[in-house]
Amino acid sequence: MIVVVGSVNLDLVVRLPRLPAAGETLSATGFTRVPGGKGANQALAARRLGAPVRLVAAVGADPMADEALALLRGGGVDLGGVRTVPGPTTGLALIQVDDAGDTTIAVVPGANAALEIAPADVATADAVLTVLEAPMSAVVVAAEYAPPGAFFALNAAPAMPVPAAVLRRADLVVVNRAEYAALGPESRARCIAVTLGAEGAVLLRDGVEVARAAPPPVHAVDGTAAGDAFTAALVVAMLRGKPDADALRDACAAGALTASRPGAQPSLPTAAEVEETLAAR
């Protein structure tokens, strides 16, 4: 069982021909409400890739919670660890997407900021995956109480300093270029995957590059959740014992497929889609 400790958001997505400049107003070409949040996205991505998954997260006592959890519930993610907290609303993400698939994202944490976890939440996990949209206190508990021998992965996004003890516990850290720089030198002591956008990704062990992969060619539609699909696919592949190069190729394919479709969770690929994409290369 993969236990994901993370965030749940409802994404409010505006489509535009291009992203506006500071102070500029543009007319949108579309608007949708889509389930999202880095923790929820990664939980559903791992489930669609065939792994059993439980999500530990927080939502508000509002109608948005049901909307934000709908695809997770329908996709078979165990939501027994999702708490409803009084007061704050369910998290929101305000997303602008242009015709090239580029995005700007502003997150309103809401109930995510109130997430508190206990050691029992991760005590029986075979693997724990967490993100920095969850409070750092929850990330620290997840790292400290993940069972000995359990795989612990951190998607260190959004960029912020991470306690050295969390990085030392991590069997895998996933970051983009900016997030990698924010981690500092401590991160280089463990396994780390650095995503490079259209260039693909590299995998480092003890600071040494051990694998590099490029994504399959796709027409970019919406980059939202592409990094989440990458992270989940890499974790699932590593748990299945795939060699580093193969695991990284799986992850790049999952991320590219996600970027080729609109929305966060609706765009996440299945294992069959990833395998088909890799077979066609």
Residues taking part in catalysis: 228
Which residue, 95, 93, 92, is CA-closest to 28?
95
Which residue, 227, 280, 219, 279, is CA-closest to 254?
227
Residues paired with residue 175 on neighbouring β-strands, in sequence order? 194
Q: Residue 259 has which token pair?
A: 């970027």
- Taking residue 203's Cβ as centre, other Cβ atoms within 10 Å add up to 23
- The dihedral through the CA atoms of 216, 217, 219, 225 has a sign that is positive
Q: Which amino acid is at 4?
A: V
With a CB cutoff of 8 Å and minimum separation 6, the contacts of 149 are none
Helical (H) or strand (E) element with 181: helix 177-183
Alpha carbon distance 173, 206 (integer Å):
12
- Taking residue 140's Cβ as centre, other Cβ atoms within 10 Å add up to 17
- The dihedral through the CA atoms of 70, 76, 80, 81 has a sign that is negative
The C-alpha R_g of the chain, in whole angstroms, comes to 18
Q: Tell me which residue has tokens 């765009």.
A: 267
Alpha carbon distance 162, 184 (integer Å):
9
Q: Residue 233 has which token pair?
A: 């696919």
